[in-house]
Amino acid sequence: MFRVKDHVISLVAVFLALGLGILIGTSLSDEMLITQQRLLIEQMTKEQKGLREERRAMEARLQTVYHDLSLWKKYQEALYPFLVNGALAGKRVSVIVHGAEVPPGVLEILNDADAILCNLIHIRERQALSAVPAGIGRALAALAANQSLTAEKEEALALFIADGSIFQEQLDKGTPEAVILVLGEEELTDKRLVSELISKLAKERFKVVGLEWSSVKASNFAQLKAAGISTIDNADTVFGQLSLLAVLRGSAGNFGIKSTADQLMANF
């Protein structure tokens, strides 16, 4: 027979069981949470300790590098006069720059080597040039060589000089023995203009040296190498600049740090 008393007892038992379950579950959850937090803290502590040790090791390595660089700089300063001063005494050189800037130190080392700078010709990047007619490259080569120009070539160059696309600074009227060709990224240079420069200078038997910055990715050197021209792909470094002096003194080859180079430095 169903009795209210039994029903009440059953309900009380159910609620007691639920309450006990909630209490046990809450206790377990709190304990698990505390355990997880403790493990997380221990892991973070280990990682922080490892990072501190790594930072100390890196600081020690940096101190070693700074010390080595300081010694290398002093060595360079002591060696520089013996290698550079007078190395190109009386040698006349012209510089043509296209789609780039002259790497820092290049003009200075030429001056310290007692080279005579005949012409500094700067040609802006291809995108900044108006339509380049055939023959401009040959006219520029003649200009760099201090050769007389035909009236037609003078007129053609005058248009580019007038609008600032080509800048020439003539420093000596003598005939140069060598021409340094500084080129930027392939997309910044006019391929036909470069080809005309190369063919004209080679025909006149000038010593031609190709230079570029270490940062240049798309190089023009394939075109120069195909013509048998020596190249230096890290002209913004002391290694490249010493290679430049060596090439101007008679060495030949492709020097620098990129895949197009045969060796790091030219034999001085």
Q: How many CA atoms lie within 13 A of 146 on its CB side?
A: 19
Report if residue 139 sits inside a domain. yes
Q: Is residue 262 part of a domain?
A: no
**One domain, residues 73 and 118:** no
Among 45, 64, 84, identify where a domain stops: 84
Residue 99 domain flag: yes
Q: Are residues 119 and 134 part of one domain?
A: yes
Which of 84, 115, 136 corresponds to the end of one domain?
A: 84
Q: How many CB atoms lie within 10 A of CB 178?
A: 20
Q: Counting every residue, how long is the chain?
A: 268
Q: What is the pLDDT of residue 76?
A: 67
Q: Does a structural domain hold residue 265?
A: no
Are 115 and 238 part of one and the same domain?
Answer: yes
What pLDDT is recorded for position 12? 57
d(Cα 79, Cα 81) in Å, to the nearest integer?
6
My answer on whether 53 and 14 are in the same domain is yes
Inside any domain, residue 266: no
Residues 97, 80, single domain; the answer is no
Q: What integer pLDDT is reported at residue 237 of this predicted model?
A: 92
CB count within 10 Å of CB 150 equals 11
Do the Cβ atoms of 245 and 113 come closer than 8 Å? yes
Q: What is the pLDDT of residue 146?
A: 92
Domain identity same for 107 and 192: yes
Whether residues 37 and 155 fall in one domain: no
Domain identity same for 20 and 135: no
Return the pLDDT at 126: 85
Taking a C-beta distance cutoff of 8 angstroms, is the pair 126, 188 a contact?
Answer: yes
DSSP line for 10-24: HHHHHHHHHHHHHHH
Distance in angstroms (rounded) separating the CA atoms of residues 97 and 187: 15
Residue 98 covered by a domain: yes
- Helix ranges (DSSP H) in the chain: 4-84, 106-112, 136-144, 151-162, 191-203, 221-226, 238-248
Quick one: 142 and 64 in the same domain? Answer: no
pLDDT along the chain (268 residues), means of 10: 58 59 58 74 81 86 80 71 89 96 95 96 86 86 90 85 89 94 94 92 90 95 92 95 95 93 88
Please give the tally of structural domains in the chain.
Answer: 2
Same domain? 57 vs 98: no
In the listed set 60, 84, 108, which residue is the last one of a domain according to the structure? 84
Residue numbers of the domain that contains 26: 1-84
pTM: 0.74
Residue 52 shares a structural domain with residue 115: no
On whether both 130 and 214 belong to a single domain, the answer is yes
Residue-level pLDDT at 69: 74
Residue 60 CA to residue 145 CA, distance in Å, equals: 54
